[in-house]
Amino acid sequence: MTIGMIQIVGLALGFTSAMVGGVFLSFSDFIMRGFAQSDEVSAIDAMRGLNRTVLRSVFLTSFLGLAPLTVGVAVYAGSALTYAAAATYLVSVILVTIGGNVPMNEKLDKMDKNSDEAKVYWKVYLKSWTRWNHIRTVGAFITSILFLVAALYLGQ
């Protein structure tokens, strides 16, 4: 059996979405917990730094690039698995990021890190941002599984 281009693309999307999920998992598993052990000002500073750094990263290219690629492959392949993968990624990763994590990041960025308001918000941010991130993590891994399974079935 030869592997066709659609299978290669499906595998690439599966592995890339797994990588995105792995980055999110790092935040949920230990980065945010590490920040929770720091004082609020240091944690706010570190999170703001990460949020600015991610804007110029390979991760962001992969994260954003997956959105149109998942849709394109879903439409081209026309399989239920690829449609499910694209829908999962768009809803649980892209929409959650746009509607949950990014607004929280923007609010945190605008605050005076030394203010009482920022210190109080940080506690809310830490829990809520991480909950949203759990959704992104699971969504990216489900997307990965769906694309990897689809790549196997599309080759038959």
Please state the rounded mean pLDDT for residues 77-100.
97
DSSP 113: T
Closest of 71, 82, 94 to residue 20, by C-alpha: 94
| Annotated domain spans of the chain | 5-154
The fraction of the chain above a pLDDT of 70, given in percent, is 97
Q: How many CB atoms lie within 10 A of CB 110?
A: 8
Closest of 91, 137, 129 to residue 109, by C-alpha: 129
Residue that is written with structure tokens 């607004």 in the block: 103
For the segment 106-124, what is each residue's pLDDT rounded down to a tens digit?
999 999 999 999 999 999 9
Please state the rounded mean pLDDT for residues 56-68.
97
- List the structure tokens of 129: 């941002």
How many angstroms separate the CA atoms of 95 and 147, rounded?
19
Per-residue confidence (pLDDT) for residue 154, from 0 to 100:
80
Per-residue confidence (pLDDT) for residue 156, from 0 to 100:
67
Per-residue confidence (pLDDT) for residue 1, from 0 to 100:
40
Q: What are phi and psi of 44, to 5 degrees?
A: -60, -45
pLDDT band at 2 (very low <50, low <70, confident <90, very high): low
Please state the rounded mean pLDDT for residues 137-147.
98
The fraction of the chain above a pLDDT of 90, given in percent, is 94
Q: What is the chain's mean pLDDT, rounded?
A: 96
Closest of 83, 63, 59 to residue 10, by C-alpha: 83
Per-residue confidence (pLDDT) for residue 73, from 0 to 100:
95
Please state the rounded mean pLDDT for residues 14-40.
97
Per-residue confidence (pLDDT) for residue 103, from 0 to 100:
98
